[in-house]
Each structure stands twice: as C-alpha cells, then as structure tokens.
Structure 1
C-alpha cells in the first residue's frame, strides 16, 4: 500500500512535500471525506480527489530538461494570467511539474517531471544538490568579496557560503558561483548582503545537468543515463 502524499505525488499532481501541504489544508478527499493525514495508506478501491479533481496513478514517468526564460512563473498556474513553466508543456498529456523554483526573472536550467520520488529527493536539503549560477552585478565583484563568499556570509537565517566561485572573463561584472543550499533567494541575498545589486541571474547547471545546446524556452527529454545519474545521487 502507498501513503496518501506519495500516491498524489506519483500521479504527477505535485511534489510529495506539496501533496502533504494540500492534505493538511483540507484540499484532499478520500472517498468523499476530507482527510488531514498525509500518511494514510491508500487502498486499491479508494477514490482520491485534490480540489475535487479525481487523481489517477501515472506509472509512466517523464523527465524533461527545460531552459526557463525571463518573465515566467515557476508554478502550474497563475491567477494574474502571467506565463508559467507549464505553458511550455501543453503538448505533454501527462501531468508534470517543475522541480524546485526559479524566480520570475531568473533564467536557466530546471527539471520538469511527474516522478514524485525524484522530486522529493532533489528538493530535500539533506541531499545537497549542486547548482551553478552566472551572476551579473551592477559593478565588478572584488577579489576580497569572492573569497568571503567561499568563507561564508552572515545572513538573517545563518551563515551561508558558496562551494565554488570564479570570474567570467568575457564579462567583467559577471561571476560563476556553485552552491548546494536550497534556501529561498539565497544567491541574491548573498550579494545583497555584500552591497551588490544582481542585474541578471542565470542557472547554468542543476544536479549535473547543463543547458548546453538548449535554447531559451525549449526543453528536451532526459537520456536514460541522465535519469539514472539523478536517481543515484
């Protein structure tokens, strides 16, 4: 038997963590009755609904690498009618969802899938998934500040440091940083603390996957070996 939050996640509706939130918010029913228990064990004949929509188990897993452009929201839908990541996947019949988030004006590589287990793994802080960003600031970052980024910068929620940092020679105001933290807006907050305004943020690598050869606003299916590497992390 499968726990309720995992069942919803495996259907491609959302991540397991998001499924647990939906359950606790009273948006999930089992056989017509609201349940607030994410670990309820789903029975074979149970009818599971999320926001009154019947959830069916999707056993065919899909994995896509997407190069997100600017001015795109990382959600399934937006009440203000702005473009979302899902607008680029309308041809995909199965329900898929993005792994993690990129800010509206942050560009770059992200994974889109209906594999709830993998989403949970890649999103959980304990796995320390590596991410690389190209950061363009309003002025060149000093050598001292680059060294400080490696040592650690005090933020409101504790010390934070990057794993790698290097200057991009083709752009004097741009550097590359690699970080494994999943904290919200952590890259922008690091530079803000050092008195830099981030003009452009582009994620070039996520969990070993790069956007090389993938134009903005396009996606491709992952290769079998790429999927296996993600599962082996």
Structure 2
C-alpha cells in the first residue's frame, strides 16, 4: 500500500492541476526580502517636444505681414518671381526667411512687422493725422498706449466728427477698406439744425451733385426711430472728403452732430467715447473678406 502511494506521488502532475501556479510566475517566499540591488528601469512617458521658435517666418507670411497681399495672393506673387531674399529671387513655396535676411518685393525692401488693428471711438476736438505742425491734439494721442508698432488711421474723421476710426499697419487691409471698388459701408448718425423734409430726403436718395467729384450716391438714409425729424441715419461707401456734411450743406442744412456708428460691420458697442480696443482675429478676418 505504501509503495502504491509513493508511485502515485511520483507521477507527473497534469498542467493546471495546481490552481495557484501560473506560467512564469514564482510565488515569493514569505521570509524572503525584496532585492533592490538591480531594480527595473522606471517608466518614462515619451513627451512630444514643443516646437522651438527659431525666429524664421514663411516668405508668404512675411509678405502678408508687410501689408502687400494676403498669404494666398503672396503665393502667386512668389511664383511670379517678384520676391527676393538676400539678392536671390525665390519662387519656392514654403521658403523660410531667417532673422537678418533682407527681403525685397518688386525691387523694394519690405519689413514683416506684426500687423496691429486698433479701433477708436473718437471724441470731438482731435485731428486725424499722425503729426500736426500747429501742435494741436491728434488721434494718435488717444491711442499712444495701444501698441509700440507704427500704425496709421484708415481714412479720416474731421475735427468735429466723432465715432469709429480704425488704425493699422496692414497696408493690404487699408487699401481694401479705402478703395471705392470694395464698397465698404459706413453708417453715420446726423443731427441737423432743422427738420429734414421728405423732398430733400428723396433728393439725397437720388444722389446730390458735389463739385468736383460728381454725384454723391448714398446706400441708405432714414429718420431715426423715436428721434425728431432733424436726426437721420445715413449709410455711404464713398470716401470723399467731408462727403456727408457736404451733401446736407448743398441742400441748405447745417450739420450740428456727425457720429460714425459703424464701419465695415464694426460697431461702437461697449466702446466709450475716447476709448480704444484691439480687433479680434474674427473681426480682422471678416474685414479681409469684404
């Protein structure tokens, strides 16, 4: 009986007979101590390196920042061979300009200063100019703390006119907003010295001849709801000098108040008189699509 038991113990065990056993796993001895002499390497997650700003800029963006054209248009200009870097004509798409490179477009040296866009709610008494020989107050005094970049007013408002005035160093956008072919509309609130007759309103809608430019056409004119008949809203896209005042003066009216309340869809909302703000990226993109 004893021999039969020994024989049974000597027989090989079937795989899985011991439920506590696992392939490649050895149960540690309760009395054994952990071995710290040769520990495994700690897990280190692989992190993507942040892109390094090496100061380079794509040539199409450089040209766009210089205010010459949009990036898409700049690509076509580069293909046509109008761009030079350090005296060499560049037609390669994606070419990067290095710090210190001299970039020329159509033979003229250009700078890729970052574009800045500032919107001012102009008060009375300030002249729309970058410098006044008589040392009078200018609109530049109002935006002195807006940016260190050299920006310029887009169009102008005369000294007595209030309202929205845009400043930028983006030559491409300036041209777009001021050129008559783009029909960028501006809305004014006008207060006259007397009530505007319906006959004169119809005359304005037809177009008033101004010398020397010709017929001044308005996009819309109407009385302001809830206001006396001496206050109107007028919408124009032509950029002639003092055009709104001259239209009413031609018909025998004096403009007592002229306030630009909108330009290219931008409004004075939450912008107090004399205050300024930077345009959002969305607003800039909208203006470029006009």
- TM-score band by shorter chain is 0.7 to 0.9
Contact 2:125–2:137 at 8 Å: present in 1 too?
Answer: yes
Which of 125, 133, 151 pairs up with 1:71? 125
**Secondary structure class of the residue paired with 2:201:** helix
Aligned to 2:182: 127
Q: 1:200 to 1:89 in 2, by over 3 A?
A: same
Question: Using the alignment, how far apart are the partners of 1:42 and 1:191 within structure 2?
Answer: 51
Question: Using the alignment, how far apart are the partners of 2:235 and 2:129 within structure 1?
Answer: 24
Aligned to 2:232: 175
Q: What displacement does 1:173 show? A: 1.5
Q: 1:47 to 1:81 in 2, by over 3 A?
A: farther
Contact 2:66–2:110 at 8 Å: present in 1 too?
Answer: no
Greater Cα radius of gyration, structure 1 or 2 = 2
**Secondary structure class of the residue paired with 1:181:** coil
Q: Which moved more, 1:146-155 or 1:190-199?
A: 146-155
Q: What displacement does 1:161 show? A: 2.1
Count of residues in correspondence between the two structures: 196
Q: What displacement does 1:86 show? A: 0.9
Structure 1 segments unaligned to the other structure (5+ residues): 17-39, 49-54
Q: 1:158 to 1:65 in 2, by over 3 A?
A: same
Does 2:222 align with 1:166?
yes
Per-residue CA deviations over 1:80-112 (Å, capped at 9, x if unaligned) read: 111111112222211111100111110000111
Question: Using the alignment, how far apart are the partners of 1:98 and 1:140 within structure 2?
Answer: 33
Which of 92, 98, 101 pairs up with 2:156? 101
Which of 196, 201, 205 pairs up with 1:150? 205
Contact 2:177–2:184 at 8 Å: present in 1 too?
Answer: yes
Aligned to 1:29: none
Aligned to 2:191: 136
**Secondary structure class of the residue paired with 2:156:** coil
Question: Using the alignment, how far apart are the partners of 1:94 and 1:159 within structure 2?
Answer: 39
Aligned to 1:61: 115
Contact 2:130–2:138 at 8 Å: present in 1 too?
Answer: yes
Structure 2 segments unaligned to the other structure (5+ residues): 1-58, 70-81, 87-100
Superposition map of 1:151-230 within 5 A = 151-156=206-211, 157-168=213-224, 169-230=226-287
Contact 2:84–2:103 at 8 Å: present in 1 too?
Answer: no
Larger relative contact order (Cα-Cα within 8 Å, sequence gap ≥ 6): 1
RMSD: 2.6
Question: Using the alignment, how far apart are the partners of 2:234 and 2:174 within structure 1?
Answer: 23
Q: 1:222 to 1:107 in 2, by over 3 A?
A: same
Per-residue CA deviations over 1:155-184 (Å, capped at 9, x if unaligned) read: 222111211111123243210000111111
